[in-house]
Structures are given as C-alpha cells and as structure tokens.
A = this chain, B = another copy of it.
Amino acid sequence: MLELETERTELVEKIEDLIERKRYAQLRDLLLPMEAQDIARLCADLDEKVLPLVFRLLPKELAAEVFVELDSDQQEMLIQGFSNTELREVLDELYLDDTVDIVEEMPANVVKRILRHSDPEMRKSINEILKYPDDCAGSIMTTEFVDLKETMTVEGALKRIRRTGLDKETINICYVIDEERHLIGLLSIRTLLLSEEDDVIGDIMERHIISVQTLDDQETVARTLSKYDFLALPVVDTEDRLVGIVTVDDAMDVLQEEVTEDIEKMAAILPGDKPYLKTGVLETWKARTPWLLMLMLSATFTGIILTHFENALATCAILTSYIPMLSGTGGNSGTQASTAIIRALSLGDIRFSDLPRVIWKEGRVALICGACLAAANFVKMMLVDRWLLRNPAVTPQVALVVCFTLVGTVACAKLVGSALPLLAEKLGFDPAVMASPFITTIVDAISLLIYFQIAALVLGI
C-alpha cells in the first residue's frame, strides 16, 4: 500500500533509473509483486514516454488490470500506440463493465477502433450498456454473470460454473432464470458448496429476490445494495427479464461519487465528475460562478434593509460593528441545522413527515444555544468591548439589544435551516441545494430585521 508520498517518489526515481539503464528484467521483478492500483498510481507520476514500455513489460492479465486504473488521458495515449494485436489482447482481459467505462471516456476514433477489435458478442454487450442513460442502473451494470436453470442439480451447476465462470466478474452469487430469462431465484456459491451434489437448484435457491430496474437511479441501486449487505444486485428490464448485475465495488464508487456531488451542492458548486486537478480553470469557473452570482444579487435585500435603517445606524453607530458577528452566527447556526437535516435525509434517517419532530427538536436546541451565546456575548461585550477596549458607546442597553437579537437570530436560523431542506425534499428538489449559502442569505436579512426592531424597542431609535 503505497500510502506514503516519499516512498512513492523514491520508487518513481528507481523505475526511471532502471529504464535509463535498460534493466528491464529488474524493472519487471520490481513491479510484479505490486497491486495493479499501485502500479497505476506510479504510472501517473512517470514520464508519458516510458509508459508504453512499462506497460509492455507486464504480463497480460496484470497489464489489463493496470490499464483499467489509469487516467483516461493515459489510456487514450496507450491505445493510440497499441498495435491491433496488443489492443485485442488487452480487450480480451478486461471485464465488460470496465471496457464500457473506458469507451465512454474515449474520443470517437478510439471508440471505433476498440469496437472493431472486440469480439462480436462483446461488441453487442458494449452497445447494449451504452444505450442506457448515465447515472442509471443499466449504465453501471455488467452483463457478465453466471446464470443457472431451476432444474439443474448442484453438481451440474458447479460444472457450469467451472466451464463458464472464468470470465464472469463475480461467481459469488448465481442467478436462476427460466426459459424467457425471467429472474426466478438466486443462489450464493456458499449454498451451492454446502449442499449435496444431487440437490436440485429449484429446491435450494432463494426465491425472495430484491432487484432493480435498468432505469433506476444509480444512487438508489447503491443504497439498496448497501442496505441489504449484498455483494451484487440483479438488474431486470421492464418485463422482469434479467439483463445484468451491479457488483458491490461499483456500488461503493457510486456512493463516493454521490457524496462528492452532495458536498459540492452544499457548498454552492455545480457538481462535476472529474478529480480536482483534472478539471480545467474554465470548467471550475463555470461550476462556481452561477451560485455566487445568484447569492450576490440576492444580497440586494440586506442592502435595502440597511439603507432603510440608515438613520438608526447614524444615531447609534456602534450597532454597525456587531452586524458581521450577528450575520456570521446566524449563518453558522443555520448551516449546522441544514447540514444535519440534509445528511439525515440522504441516509434515510428522517422523512418529510418528521417535520414536526424536527421543528420541536431544533426549536429547543436553538433556545439553549441562543441563551448560551447571548450570555457569553454579554460578558464579552461588557468586559472586552467596554472595559478593555474602552469604548463608552458599548452600553449595557446596546449589549442587551445585541444579545436579544442573537437569541432571535439563532432561533430563526435553526428553524429555517431545518425546515427548508425538508420542504425541498417534499417538493421534489434536491435538499442539498438548500444548504449553507442559500440559508445564510435568508438568515442575513431576517437577523437585520430583528436587530433593528429590537434596537427601536430598547434604545428608542
């Protein structure tokens, strides 16, 4: 596990040195014991020119595994350099779903070349999967799985697995289908092994099947797989015929991607699908500007409120200096509530019907939080602002105004922060969009209104 950066840097230097001195056998011996993922990571740090050389040193199977893990830029470069025989060899070793992933990233001329050199069955399967829209079960499934018939014996099933299982991505779960390819049962390899040789599949298979449809959202698929602790999930078409399976490793990747997307949305970034350093400056700009712009323009309201109360501020200038603290605390309180709710929604811990319980809980939390902050703030304003910084304008009355506002702001922030994501979910919007920046803008305006109302009451301005 090449987790340490220094270790990786040393290895890269060693590899480059071996190449320069043409010690290819030694280089091969160095790479052979490594995992494909680690070799791919090293390749990312190597000079592009030596990549084909390193690649050709590896045994076919390992080479294919490394190939899958490379960046799409590097994959493209390698494919461009491959002879037709080499390309066919690599394609033969790849699992179908990995090939599809690669095809999706390549430019048209490379795709054509890949399809031309895949065998006809593979080509058919690739085209089949490519026709499903992104982000649905069909696009992440593989069509390579072990299928059995209900009437087979355990012995027959094991023979079939020995005969056809070599190329399948997983043989841990086998799927039982009828003549029309309807999925009628499933069977773990464990059950197979623990059964008698002459048991009939139909008698020992599991008939309660959880499956997904080709057009189901990939996040639903991954969450279902994770909820039931499955290793693979069957994918059926609208007529309930088995067309593929989604394996647990792909589901894990989907969950990671979806979390990244949620986090990006919560930070007011339009979600992208490339790693940070691979995203160009213009792309990053495009993902970030729309929300910044919208939020900036919506701050017009706070501006109008401040202009409206210009006279009050002129009478009591010290009030101005607490505005950033108030809006900051309001924003943070709201962010805490909205984040907690958004995450709980995405984990399935709460639903819209919990709204009253959520409000009741957040209301009480807000009161205690607000009281604590107000008390601390009163002490701080008296001790630091008035006494230590010798600012005579910070009177106990002013401190009271700020503290009352604090309580009101925290309460509003928590309520708005917890209710909005739930409402968004109910209305079919993505709750993640209702996160921090959006709520901060609303809470900003509310807290200013509260501030001036209380100031008018207490200070009579």
Contact = CB atoms under 8 A, between A and B. Distances in A.
Given A293-B376, A369-B292, A313 B302 contact: no
A253 B194 CA distance: 29
A190 interface: yes
A75 interface: no
A368 B292 CA distance: 12
A372 interface: yes
Nearest to A170: B190
A429 interface: no
B5 A353 contact: yes
A296 B336 contact: no
Contact of A277 (B256, B306, B350): B350
B277 A349 contact: yes
Interface string A332-369: 11011011110110010111111001100100110011
Contact of A339 (B165, B263, B314): B263
B328 A320 contact: no
B248 A231 contact: yes
A430 interface: no
Interface residues of A, number: 119
A268 interface: yes
A213 to B, nearest CB: 11
Contacts of A249: 226, 229, 248
Contact of A252 (B252, B260, B377): B252
B35 A208 contact: yes
Interface in A221-240: 224, 226-229, 231
B276 A302 contact: no
Interface in A184-238: 189-190, 193-194, 208, 210, 220, 224, 226-229, 231
A321 B448 CA distance: 11
Contact of A440 (B251, B331, B343): B331
Nearest to A300: B384
Given A252-B252, A332-B437, A340 B281 contact: no
A269 interface: yes
A282 B296 CA distance: 36
B302 A310 contact: no
A162 to B, nearest CB: 6
A166 B194 contact: yes
Contact of A210 (B35, B253, B255, B448): B35
A456 interface: no
A76 interface: no
A436 to B, nearest CB: 6
A136 interface: no
Contacts of A3: 220
A158 interface: yes
A328 B296 contact: yes
Interface of A: 1, 3, 5, 33-35, 37, 158, 161-162, 165-166, 171-172, 189-190, 193-194, 208, 210, 220, 224, 226-229, 231, 248-249, 251-253, 255-256, 259-260, 263-264, 266-269, 275-277, 281-282, 284-285, 288-289, 291-293, 295-297, 299-300, 302-304, 306-307, 310, 313-314, 317-318, 320-325, 327-329, 331-333, 335-336, 338-341, 343-344, 347, 349-354, 357-358, 361, 364-365, 368-369, 372-373, 376-377, 380, 384-385, 389, 391, 410, 436-437, 440-441, 444, 448
19 contacts: A5-B351, A162-B194, A171-B189, A189-B189, A226-B249, A263-B263, A263-B266, A264-B339, A277-B354, A277-B361, A281-B368, A284-B340, A285-B365, A288-B365, A289-B372, A296-B328, A314-B317, A324-B444, A324-B448
